Structure 1
Amino acid sequence: MGQGDAVIIGVGSFSVDLPEGEELPLMTRTWDALDFVEDVVPRIGKAIGQLGYRVRCHLNPVREDLRGVMQPADEGAVHRIVHVVTHGQPDARHARLDMVPADGRFGRDTDVTGWISDCHVERRMSLFLVDLCGSGVAARLPSYVYEAGAETYAWVISASDGEEEAYDGRFSTAIAEVLEDLAATGLRTDASQEHVDFQLVARHIGMRLESAGGRVQTVRATLMDPSAPKPLLPFFPNPTHAAFATDPTRLRRAALDAPVRDFLEELDPVDSRHFTDKPGRHFTGRRSQLRLLAPWLDDPEESRLCVVTGSPGTGKSALLGALMCAAHPQLVGQAQHIRERLPGACRPALQDVLAAIQVRQRSLPSVVDALARQLQLPTPSSGWTPLTFMAAVRSLPEPPVLVVDGP
């Protein structure tokens, strides 16, 4: 699938090489072995690989081995995932977090917060999965608390909050379990979404970690500005989307003009799960209204103005959608099943000159353009305005039917 790069770094064995005859200085910190690392690193690598990433695993690297590890293996990869599991060493001000390499030596190449900052400066979309003690520091850097949004390039899900410890690789195990589920089910994400939501994945990891029991360990993730639109992050491809994207029905509908397609989607969306709580997929009822509207649509001698009113949620759009699916020349071929459900007196004839639009979230110029396209009117050199559109409609040999579904 060519989703991007993935770098997996795990350290479970620690030793310091000293010249012969030298001893460790007093107060030098030593690190306990992490026996679980050799199990979780390959599992994480496999789980991320199932999402289509090119995975590079680094097991028990010393500091020198980490030099250049953040450089992309594939220059064509547009984003990446970095997972690190080892001991963590936050500084006293909680402004920096180092991963502990196998030789216990720190430097720029072990500075996880530096990796994150570099990604943001380089504008390289990256997700960091940080399984270190005190790793909440990485998810709460001041520069990301207020800036996370469409222009943020470095994202973090971390194993613990502030000075909390991270225990026994439980966070890495939770990640592996969630990504395995994601690769199989998309975490029940709607098939119309190309990617699984970042926040949803973070919540699932937190829930898995909580269900594992043991000592408290708080998953933290990059904060988002709730007033800004949610960014579309590319890290977790939705496996159910591929079938949706190539569905023959959806491809046929894609050829329809979007304002016309809206009427069909109102009654019969391609993604049935989107529709489970709506009645329109099996449109029934409203026969008295249909018996009034179908003859009006068919009879050119009828009054040319008809208004459908009702309280919000009473089914005005579904009613108009049923009429359009039965009468609009672009919709009838793809909505025969809807037309057949309408009893004879409720079923309008196919209209040769009909333009329809749902105006929700559309500007007036886009509404006029859409109606003109459906009527196959030649576009003026200066573009359409309401006045030039009305003049063009009046010049038609036969008065068209215009159906406008309001907000």
Structure 2
Amino acid sequence: MTRRRAVIVTAGKIDPRDDLPFAVSAEPFDTLDFTKERAGELAELLGEQFSFDVHRMDEAESGHLAALHETRPESVSVFHFIGHGTVRSDGLHFVPANRNFTPLTSLNAVIARLNEIQTEEQNHHYLVILDMCEAGGGLDKLPHGDAKNIWIACAADDQATYGGQFSKSFAEVLRSIDVGDSEEFVPMDRLWRQVGAHFREALFRRLCGGRNTLDEQELGRLRNALPTPRTLGRFGTYMESNPPFFPNPRFTQAAAEEESAREEIDTRLHPFLDAPHFADRVGSHFTGRSTILEALGTWRTERNPESGLYLITGAAGSGKSTVVGATVLTCHPDIIASHHYDEARRRLSQRLPTTCDIPVTAPIAAVHARQRQLDEVLRGFIDQLASQGALNPERVKTVTELADWTSAQPEPPLLVLDALDEALKPDDLVYALLRPLLAVRRDGWPASRILVAGRNDTDRNKELLDLLEQSAAEPHQIDLNLIDREEIRLDLTAFLEDALRTDSPCCRIKVRQFAQETASALVDRTDASQYGLFLTAGLYAGHLRRRFEHLPGRPETHLPERFDLATETVPGSLPEVLELDFKSVADPTERRRRRAVLAALAHARGQGMPATIATVLARDIFDGGELNAAALLHDGKGVKVYLRSATDPSDEAPLYRLFHQSLNDYLRLKPIAVEGNSDE
């Protein structure tokens, strides 16, 4: 196990005498009252959250600093200096409490020694933080040389210490930084980017001093005048993404393997790979829609299908993405090639009709259209087909060239587009991409097999779907709202029974009866044109499990005795399940925070929103009060169930969004609970 050591050095009260040897007698040093407070904050954080062995040197005199030169540091060490600094002829010095400048106070000597050790111990990592006046001015004098694993940072170039704000920003950001569970350590680039932003924002608020009369020009001048933290050493060269300074408590090896597997697959396929969606909403409890999936399984493997188009339509949560996802996950060659998903695909295949097990020989491309434009979808189709060796991307770049390529193929490729209605410009996709690809070959057979899923809840959505249907040969449109309700009732019963299954034989009858009654209530009361039954049922089952898991005994023992009364409260939509979850939180402050964070995420674009932005929106716009969105977003019991996550390609920071569009719609309409709502 790696041993970590932190040395925190402070000196806030400097001896005022000017007769000491080598003293800077002409330069007074003000008393810094904050140094011990900042040191205490850092010591608590590093010791408790990251298991550092913390050694403090408060009001350090020059002799105390001998330990920095004599004691060999651990392989992972942090050195944090808070106080005054001064630049002398031999480099940057820390001003000791006794103001006696000797070689022991030389930070150049400290860095030089760390360099020497690293020539012998290549696996050592050192972080040096200088929250000192004049530290920035002396930074370039430090002998960082070719050190591979020495990281040096300071507050700014000028002489101010800013009340230890750099140390405060470092501690606050490190305490709350959002790091995904696939990263073993806190990434340094992201940490210091956020520390710098926090530092500048704190100084900006201090400079404004609560003044609300400043115009935009004055505010702009203030921001431009803010100091920027400086870095040196490893910061100035190639930045390793996760040096072993700060272990991530959320890290799991399984998540790291999942992320590694995802990186090998086209990013436009990632929505189909979302781990919670795949494992919980598809893999573990996939039940129902067997008639549709059987037909799709046959259609996707026919060498010359009569139909070139399958449209899967329905309300939010009706199961469109589940049907499409099951198709993509079981036959896309890029996913099949990744052995990481073998077991999940095997479990899923066991729940699907046998036609879905027939290998697909034609090329396949699939794109989730959420927040994407025409060019992105087209590029996704071409890139995936090229990765399978089906086409040359240098020769196929436009819609026309792709249409010509499909017409020349001996077997029509399968092109999948999910969430048509969530694209940035659905009209462009229909008119400029899908319709040209629906052409027929010279022999009269469809040139492509196109599977499209989208909502039909507005007149415009219906018009676009109808236009696609009219443009295809022998099209099939399946409206999931209109599936036989008795078939849905049976499928829902099996779905709920599976979701609430138990190993106790004496309780299985009770669980089945509850599943039957709940399924009947859902079918009878839910408006299928507004909300999907399966997704509502799945979330309701999850709500019951979360509600009962803190009670003694087995969860099924807490199912109600009077099912007829209990099912009167069965939710008829996803938002109603959400409100049930809010209502189950006893603390009104916690309820308000959860709602505010989810309301913020309802405004996420593209792959999602970082926790830092969600925190600001939830706190300042949606009445969430003081909160840490990152902590709430990792609470699997309260919020995480409603999320999908991704990784920002620019800095690998986690991004979050609500997993379903109907939740976005609802929370945009009701972001803050009103009187009489569950959040009051």
Q: What TM-score do the two structures reach when normalised by structure 2?
A: 0.37
2:471 match: none
User: Offset at 1:319?
Assistant: 0.9
1:51 and 2:40 correspond: no
The answer for the alignment partner of 2:15 in structure 1 is 15
Distance change >3 Å, CA 35–CA 120, structure 1 → 2: same
Contact (CA 8 Å) 2:76, 2:125: kept in 1 or not?
yes
Greater RCO, CA 8 A, separation 6+: 1
**SS of corresponding position for 1:335:** helix
Letter of the aligned partner of 1:179 in structure 2?
L
Q: Report deviation, 1:57.
A: 0.5
SS in structure 1 opposite 2:171? helix
**Does the aligned pair in 2 maintain the 1:13–1:34 contact within 8 Å?**
yes
Residue in 2 aligned with 1:154? 150
1:120/1:153 contact within 8 Å kept: no
Distance (whole Å) between structure 1 residues aligned to residue 18 and residue 197 of structure 2? 44
1:193 aligns with 2:153: no
User: Is 1:222 the counterpart of 2:232 in the alignment?
Assistant: yes
Letter in 1 for 2:194: H
**Is 1:87–1:132's contact at 8 Å kept on the other side of the alignment?**
yes
Change (3 A) 1:164 1:334: same
Counterpart pick for 1:122 among 104, 117, 121: 117
In the other structure, the counterpart of 1:6 is 6
Q: Secondary structure at the match of 1:173?
A: helix
1:320 aligns with 2:339: no
**CA drift at 1:153:** 2.4
Counterpart position of 1:173: 168
Match of 1:35 among 19, 33, 52: 33
Q: Which amino acid is the alignment partner of residue 218 of structure 1?
A: T
| CA drift at 1:60 | 0.5
Give 3-state SS (helix, strand or coil) of 1:29's partner. coil
Deviation digits for residues 39-89 of structure 1 (CA, Å, limit 9, x no counterpart): 11111111111211100001001101111235557x7x3110000001010
2 CA distance for matches of 1:226 and 1:59? 30
Maintained 8 Å contact 2:7/2:54:
yes
Contact 1:13 1:60 in 2 (8 A): yes
Alignment of 1:6-405 (within 5 A): 6-15=6-15, 27-49=25-47, 50-72=49-71, 77-91=74-88, 96-123=91-118, 124-137=124-137, 139-141=139-141, 144=144, 147=146, 152-161=148-157, 163-181=158-176, 187-213=177-203, 214=206, 216-222=226-232, 228=238, 230=240, 232-241=242-251, 244-245=252-253, 291=298, 319-321=332-334, 333-340=343-350, 342-348=352-358
In structure 2, what is the Cα distance between the partners aligned to 1:119 and 1:262? Answer: 38
The answer to whether the 8 Å contact 2:82/2:130 transfers is: yes
Give per-residue Cα distances to partners, 1:247-302, cap 9 Å, x unaligned: 5x989x99xxx99x978x977768669x9xxx999999999996477689xxxxxx
8 A Cα contact 1:286 1:319, kept in partner = no
Structure 1 pair 228/175, CA: closer, same or farther in 2 (3 Å)? closer
- Residues 196 and 229 of structure 2 are in contact (CA less than 8 Å); yes or no, is this contact kept in structure 1? yes
Question: Secondary structure of the equivalent of 2:192?
Answer: helix
Cα shift at 1:91: 3.0
Stretches of structure 2 that go unaligned for 5 or more consecutive residues are 119-123, 208-225, 304-327, 360-383, 388-680
What is the percentage of aligned positions where both structures have the same residue? 21
- 2:189 is matched by which residue type in structure 1? Q
Q: Is the 2:181–2:248 Cα contact (8 Å) retained in structure 1?
A: yes
Higher helix share: 2
- What are the superposed Cα offsets for residues 348-390 of structure 1, whole Å, 9 maximum, x if unpaired? 38xxxxxxxx9x99xxxxxxxxxxxxxxxxxxxxxxxxxxxxx
